[in-house]
């Protein structure tokens, strides 16, 4: 398998006045193409910072983050934004849908920034909403959808530009248990049937067990890795 993402001896140090906060302390981590990996750790372990590195949302203080062999730490913000738009789909705990837009419009939004034509945007968004089981909810706004349905829209949106990697940050954190199971099944299907590389960040060991491999994060370092 090819290496999709590689984090090599990554440190992330935030300065707060005179105080230095070491969020990541020499983290090493590899994700191969087509894997479903969970990064699990307690609050304050560095999960959010690790997610920012993996998702090209931030660059390390030192160390390397390689995406398909290219070091993102040497790239400009505009180049990083371009990579995020094309290569990585994001699913967040808070859904982050635009309340004034319909489900269809929310899903078409990322494609606008990639200069996809209006016809193709609507065609693909319709296909994706049908894929996540919301073919009959396309004209509904977020306030007219349940939490589970909103997260399904968010997953459809993450797939808009057919990214290689889906990064899910506590994807069931705001959902009831039934909706949470449905969302996890959807992510598993995207991995098994669509061949997507999925990296999920979670504090919940039950969610982590859905992945093929679990990396345990503590105090900014991967302390062990294991299979489910």
Q: What is the pLDDT of residue 1?
A: 44
Q: What is the pLDDT of residue 149?
A: 97
Q: What is the pLDDT of residue 127?
A: 96
Name the pairing type of β-strands 197-202 and 165-169.
Answer: parallel
Q: What is the full per-residue pLDDT of the chain (228 aa) written as tens digits?
A: 466 899 999 999 999 889 999 999 999 999 999 999 999 999 889 998 999 898 888 889 999 999 888 898 888 888 888 888 888 999 998 999 999 999 999 999 999 989 999 999 999 999 999 999 999 999 999 999 999 999 999 999 999 999 989 999 999 988 999 999 999 999 999 999 999 999 999 999 989 999 999 999 999 999 999 875
Q: How far is CA 91 from the centre of its chain?
A: 5
Closest CA to 120 of 158, 160, 153, 85: 160
Strand-pair partners of 16: 19
Q: What is the pLDDT of residue 126?
A: 98
Distance CA 180, CA 176 (A): 6
Whole-prediction pTM: 0.90
Instruction: State the architecture of 33-53+76-227 in CATH terms.
Output: 3-Layer(aba) Sandwich (3.40)
Give start and end residues of each alpha helix (H) in the chain. 47-54, 77-87, 103-112, 118-131, 147-158, 177-194, 205-208
Task: Sort 192 into a burial class: Cβ within 10 Å, 0-12 / 13-18 / 19+.
Answer: exposed
Distance CA 13, CA 15 (A): 7
């Amino acid at each position: 398998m090819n290496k999709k993402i590689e984090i090599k001896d990554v440190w992330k140090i935030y300065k707060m006045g005179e105080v230095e906060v070491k969020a990541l302390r020499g983290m090493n981590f590899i994700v191969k193409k087509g894997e479903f990996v969970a990064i699990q750790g307690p609050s304050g372990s560095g999960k959010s910072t690790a997610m920012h590195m993996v998702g090209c949302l931030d660059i390390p203080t030192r160390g390397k983050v390689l995406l398909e062999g290219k070091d993102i730490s040497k790239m400009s913000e505009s180049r990083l934004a371009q990579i995020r738009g094309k290569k990585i789909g994001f699913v967040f705990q808070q859904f982050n849908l635009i309340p004034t837009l319909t489900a269809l419009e929310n899903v078409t939004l990322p494609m606008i920034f990639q200069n996809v034509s209006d016809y193709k945007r609507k065609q693909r968004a319709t296909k994706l909403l049908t894929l996540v089981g919301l073919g009959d909810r396309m004209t509904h706004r977020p306030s007219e959808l349940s939490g589970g349905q909103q997260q399904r829209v968010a997953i459809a949106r993450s797939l808009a530009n057919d990214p290689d990697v889906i990064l899910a940050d506590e994807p069931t954190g705001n959902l009831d248990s039934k909706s949470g199971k449905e969302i996890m099944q959807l992510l598993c299907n995207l991995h098994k049937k669509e061949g997507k590389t999925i990296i999920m960040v979670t504090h919940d060991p039950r969610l982590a067990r859905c992945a093929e491999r679990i990396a345990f994060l503590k105090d900014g370092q991967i302390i062990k890795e294991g299979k489910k």
